[in-house]
Amino acid sequence: MTQIYDRVALVGLGLIASSMFWAIKRGGLVGEVSGYARSPETRRKAREIGLCDRVCETVTEAVKDADLVILCVPVGVMGAVAAEIAPALKAGATVSDVGSVKADVIAQVGHELPSNVHFVPAHPLAGTEHSGPESGFAELFDNRWTLIVPVEGSDPAAISKLRQLWEGMGANVDEMDAEHHDLVLAVTSHAPHLIAYTMVGVADDLRRVTDSEVIKYSAAGFRDFTRIAASDPTMWRDVFLSNKDATLEILGRFTEELFALQKAIRDGDGDHLHSYFTRTRAIRRGIIEAGQDTAAANFGRGGAAPK
Ligand code: NAP
């Protein structure tokens, strides 16, 4: 693989940045990767595990010579971090991000950057419920989608180079506009997370009534919810606050469907339930056929999944 950038700076050293670093190293895609995280503890840990070629004590030091700077911090602080790095950026550099919400991040970051840098937002559709510098791994983006969300006036050459980097890290790359991105992600990621948080919260309330039965007899459906509901609280608070409109739109539709299913159960309308579940089963098949998940039972964890 040929080297795509001489110098890349990763700002924020959590799950996504650390996975990017290991994927960049695997592919030999960048000459030198510098990194910065807010807390001394994260910077110490990064040095200890060899995360980044150079871990810097200040964010300006990390970004000043970089050809590409990637903001890998929670979406709620993207604007503040962009303002901090703006005076130190090299002329002609590209600034990108990995935030899970795009319209709000573009609004926050866009006006903080000087006119002599290129801004090319992006979002890798890959993650786990773990966070922090030790949670990353080189394979995270393999065969997963990364969406590049160009802003008005984004330089085609800067977009094309960023695309090459993501492809080099194993991702499939598509372009999408910000509003569409935020609606699609509200359906595929944001609303499901909120539903998982709610379901686990309900079970936790119930646990107080039934003692430890919810944990002891934890079945596959509930365990899958708990995995999602273990995701980073800061990240997800920021996602909901910054993708408010699209999330509320999808939750409105979700509530209507839930009421319709509730009524079908109350009315004993088995035909409605059966045809609804047949339709949703086909969606799972489509995801497997698209190579985005395993067909193995219980996600290939081995053993039978309790129902
Ligand atoms: P993470 O593991 O929690 O790491 C976040 C990093 O941001 C940490 O290094 C943290 O530094 C740093 N940070 C937090 N607040 C900061 C501030 N005010 N100034 C400077 N640095 C700050 O998070 P992540 O999962 O990698 O997520 C990073 C971004 O990727 C988010 O925008 C998220 O929406 C997006 N994303 C996440 C996923 C996912 O599944 N996790 C998937 C796709 C995209 P300290 O360690 O020093 O606190």
Asked if 168 and 47 sit in the same domain, the reply is: yes
Among residues 133, 154, 176, which one ends one of the domains? 176
Q: Is 261 found in the same domain as 200? A: yes
Residues 23 and 151 in one domain: yes
Residues 160 and 244 both lie in one domain: no
pLDDT (0 to 100) of residue 229:
93
Pocket of ligand 1 contains residue 121 by CB under 6 Å: no
Amino acid 300: pLDDT: 67
- Which range marks the domain in which residue 195 is found? 180-267
Checking if the pLDDT of 263 tops 80, the result is: yes
C-alpha 116/C-alpha 153 separation (Å) is: 12
Q: What is the CATH number of the domain that holds 81?
A: 3.40.50.720
Lowest average pLDDT, out of 3-17, 65-79, 204-218, 227-241, goes to 204-218
Q: Is 73 in the pocket of ligand 1 (CB under 6 A)?
A: yes
Residue 100 lies in a domain: yes
Query: Which tens digits make up the pLDDT trace of 24-79?
Result: 999 999 999 999 999 999 999 999 999 999 999 999 999 999 999 999 999 999 99
For 251-262, b/e burial (b = at least 16 CB within 10 A) is beeeeeeeeeee
**210 has pLDDT over 70:** no
Rounded to the nearest angstrom, the distance between the alpha carbon of 242 and the centre of ligand 1 is: 15
pLDDT for the residue 205: 82
Domain boundary among 176, 197, 229: 176
Q: Say yes or no: 147 and 172 in one domain.
A: yes
Report percent pLDDT > 90 for the chain: 81
Mean pLDDT of the chain: 93
The runs of H, that is alpha helices, within 118-243 are 156-168, 178-185, 191-210, 213-216, 220-228, 233-242
Q: Is 121:96 a contact under the CB 8 Å cutoff?
A: yes
46 lines ligand 1 (CB under 6 A): no
Is residue 118 in some structural domain? yes
Q: Same structural domain for residues 172 and 238?
A: no
For the segment 184-193, the average pLDDT, to the nearest whole number, is: 96
Same-domain status, 61 and 90: yes
Question: Are 90 and 230 part of one and the same domain?
Answer: no
DSSP 36: E
Q: Is residue 297 part of a domain?
A: no
Structure tokens at 136: 């990353």
The helices-and-strands tally (H runs, E runs) of the chain is 13, 9
Task: Please check whether residues 61 and 198 belong to one and the same domain.
Answer: no
Do residues 28 and 146 share a domain? yes
Cα 74 to ligand 1 centroid, rounded to whole Å: 5
Quote the pLDDT of residue 296. Answer: 79
Compute, in angstroms, the gap from residue 100 CA to the centroid of ligand 1: 10
Residue 1 has pLDDT above 80, yes or no: no
Mean pLDDT, range 186-207, rounded to an integer:
91
What is the structure's pLDDT at 286?
85
Whether 234 is in a domain gets the answer yes
- Residue 167 C-alpha to ligand 1 middle, in angstroms? 22
Whether 232 lines ligand 1, by a CB cut-off of 6 Å, is yes
In a domain, 137, yes or no: yes
For ligand 1, pick from 13, 21, 38 the residue to mutate: most ligand atoms within 8 Å of CB.
Answer: 38
Q: Is 62 in the pocket of ligand 1 (CB under 6 A)?
A: no
152-169 average pLDDT score: 96
In the prediction, which pLDDT does 184 show? Answer: 97
Q: Is there a domain that residue 76 lies in? A: yes
257 shares its domain with 129: no
Residue 274, domain member (yes or no)? no
Ligand 1 centre from 182 Cα, in Å? 19
Residue 16 has a pLDDT of 98
Any bridge partners for residue 68, and if so which?
Answer: 8, 94
Give the per-residue pLDDT at 187: 96
| Cα 75 to middle of ligand 1, angstroms | 8
Pseudo-torsion of CA 165, 166, 170, 173, nearest 10°? -130
C-alpha to C-alpha distance for 238 and 138, rounded to whole angstroms: 26
- How confident is residue 246, by pLDDT bands cut at 50, 70 and 90? very high
pTM above 0.85, yes or no: yes
Pair (81, 93) in one structural domain: yes
Residue 215 pLDDT greater than 90, yes or no: no
Residue 84 CA to ligand 1 center (angstroms) comes to 16
For range 107-136, the mean pLDDT: 96
Which of 116, 141, 176 terminates a domain? The answer is: 176
The count of domains in the chain is: 2
Residue-wise pLDDT tens digits, 291-307: 878 777 767 666 555 45
- In angstroms, rounded to a whole number, what is the distance separating the alpha carbons of residues 180 and 103? 9
Q: Which atom of ligand 1 approaches the CA of 239 most closely?
A: 34
Does residue 95 sit within a domain?
yes
* Residue range 93-119: mean pLDDT, rounded: 97
3-state secondary structure of 171: coil
What CATH number has the domain bearing residue 216?
Answer: 1.10.3660.10
pLDDT on residue 147: 98
Q: What's the pLDDT at 2? A: 85
pLDDT of residue 182: 98
Residue 199 pLDDT more than 70? yes
